[in-house]
Structure 1
Amino acid sequence: MLPPRRRQLDLQAHHPGDMPHRRHQAPAHVEPHPARPPQRALPSRRHARHRAQVHPRRRNHPAQRPLLVLRFLQGRTRARLPRPRSARNPARHRRRSPHARRHMSNATTRNDATPRGPAPRTAAVINPRAANGRAAAHWPRIVEQIGLVEALFTQHPHHAATLATQLLDEGFERILAVGGDGTISETMNGFFRDGRPINPNAEFGILPMGTGGDFQRTLAIPSIDAAVHVILAGKTRTIDAAHITYEAHTGGQASRYFLNLTSFGMGGEVATRAKNSLSTYSGKLAFMYATVEVFFRYHAKTVELSLDGAPPTTHKILNIALGNGRYHGGGMHVCPQAQLDDGTLEVTIIEDLGMFTLAKDLPVLYSDNIYKHPKVHHHRAAHIRATSHDKVSIEVDGEAVGTLPIEVQLLPHAIRILAP
Structure 2
Amino acid sequence: MKKILVINPKAKNGKALQYFHSIESICKKEGIETWITESPGDASEKIRAWCEQNPEEKVLFIGMGGDGTMHEIINGVVAAEGENVMVACIPAGSGNDFARAFPSFQLTARSIKDLSLLNGKSESFDAAHYQSENNTGWFVNNLGIGFDALVAFSSNRSLLKKWLNLVGAGKLIYVFYLLRHLFTYRPTMLEIEVDGIMEQYSNVWFISVSNQPYYGGGMKISPKAIPQDGLLDLTIVHNLSRWKLLAVFLSVFKGSHLKYKEVAIKRGRVLQVKSDEFVRVHADGEDAGELAHQQIIHITVHQHKWKLFLPKMKGLDE
For this structure pair, what is the TM-score category when the shorter chain's length is used for normalisation? 0.7 to 0.9
Contact residue 320 and residue 347 of structure 1 kept, 8 A: yes
Contact 1:261 1:321 in 2 (8 A): yes
Q: Distance in 1 between matches of 2:181 and 2:111?
A: 34
- Structure 2 residue aligned with 1:324: 211
Q: Residue 315 of structure 2 aligns with which residue?
A: none
Instruction: Say whether 1:351 aligns with 2:267.
Output: no
Residue 218 of structure 1 and its aligned partner are, at CA, apart by 1.4
Counterpart mapping for 1:9-408 below 5 A: 120-143=1-24, 147-171=30-54, 173-193=59-79, 197-220=80-103, 223-225=106-108, 232-247=118-133, 253-278=134-159, 281-282=161-162, 284=170, 286-404=173-291, 405-408=296-299
User: What is the alpha-carbon distance in structure 1 between the residues aligned to residue 17 and residue 86 of structure 2?
Assistant: 23
Letter in 1 for 2:100: R
Letter aligned with residue 200 of structure 1 = E
C-alpha displacement of 1:321: 0.7
What is the TM-score when the length of structure 2 is the normalising length? 0.84
Residues in 2 aligned to 1:400 and 1:287: alpha-carbon distance in whole angstroms: 15
Paired with 2:16 and 2:95, the residues of 1 have a C-alpha distance of 14
Question: Which stretch shows the higher mean deviation, 359-368 or 325-334?
Answer: 359-368
Q: CA deviation at 1:368?
A: 2.1
Root mean square deviation of aligned Cα: 2.4
Output the amino acid matched with 2:14: G
Report whether the alignment pairs 1:413 with 2:304: yes
* Paired amino acid for 1:406: I
Shift of 1:323: 0.5
Look at both structures and tell me which one has the larger radius of gyration over its CA atoms.
1
Look up the SS of the partner of 1:408 in the other structure: strand
Q: Which amino acid aligns with 1:413?
A: H
How far apart, in 1, do the equivalents of 2:202 and 2:96 lie? 30
**Cα distance in 2 for residues equivalent to 1:375 and 1:164:** 42
Aligned residue type for 1:377: A
Kindly tell me: are residues 167 and 158 of structure 1, through their superposed partners in 2, closer, same or farther at Cα, counting changes over 3 Å? same
Structure 1 gaps, min length 5:
1-119, 248-252
Structure 1: distance between partners of 2:248 and 2:267: 24
User: How far 1:221 sits from its partner (Å)?
Assistant: 5.7
Q: Deviation at 1:149?
A: 2.3
| Cα deviation 1:179-235 (Å, max 9, x = unaligned) | 110011011111133xxx431221111111100111111124694138767983432
Q: Which has the higher contact order (CA 8 A, sep 6+)?
A: 2
Q: Counterpart of 1:211 in 2: which secondary structure?
A: coil
In structure 1, what is the Cα distance between the partners aligned to 2:136 and 2:208? 18
Shift of 1:133: 0.9
Instruction: Provide Cα deviations, 1:26-85, integer angstroms capped at 9, x if missing partner.
Output: xxxxxxxxxxxxxxxxxxxxxxxxxxxxxxxxxxxxxxxxxxxxxxxxxxxxxxxxxxxx
Check 1:394–1:202 CA distance in 2 against 1; reply closer, same or farther (3 A cut).
Answer: same
TM-score normalised by structure 1 residue count: 0.64
Structure 2: runs of 5 or more not aligned: 312-318
More strand by share: 2
